[in-house]
A and B are shown apart, each in its own frame.
Chain A
């Protein structure tokens, strides 16, 4: 299973763009990259998923370089409610991301 490395924590202010980078040097050919958000005492919430280049949805963008050994989650104009822990995971789409291995995640604190 590919291991991921993220910064332990990040600080930001309301209205700023936040970019969280995740390293996954041993990502496999069939692996997809998925990001989850978790608030205290809640289950993780799916944010975005991608395989290569750029993916964008209504809440975030995911940038994946050609070598796929890292990925960057971009949150545009964060608000206080974006304070949460963000997890980057890689998993084989063919097996449905079986046995997801959660790393430490990145604790994002958004201040006024």
Chain B
């Protein structure tokens, strides 16, 4: 199956700083990638849809100015958590598919801890 990677796998930062998380499709090109957030013992919640070469589409309740998404190439999407606060501490997961007819494959996730 398709391989999706994320970097870093975990990050600890101080409150008020910004953190960038990368999502890469290693062996295929992905026009669209998705970003999810998962709190402990809860299910995944879709945050936004990342579209290559255009603006991301955010789900209701997700602040686009706080969670900046850039999809500059067909293999890379980045999520930047700006001015992070402790409540942003969570597990962030991306997904991608080779084409609109293909199943989505998920990255390994990034654990963010904001102190």
Q: Which B residues have a C-beta under 8 Å from some C-beta of A? A: 1, 4, 6, 32, 34, 36, 43-46, 49, 91, 93-95, 97, 99-109, 111
Contact = CB atoms under 8 A, between A and B. Distances in A.
Nearest to B107: A43
Given A44-B106, A46-B105, A99 B46 contact: yes
A interface, size bucket: 20 to 34
A13 interface: no
Contact of B43 (A41, A96, A105): A105
Contacts of A96: 32, 97, 99-102, 104
Contacts of A28: none
Interface stretch (A17-25, A61-69, A76-84, A87-95): A87-95
A74 to B, nearest CB: 19
A93 B49 contact: no
Contacts of B93: 43-44
Interface string A19-59: 00000000000000010100001111110010000000000
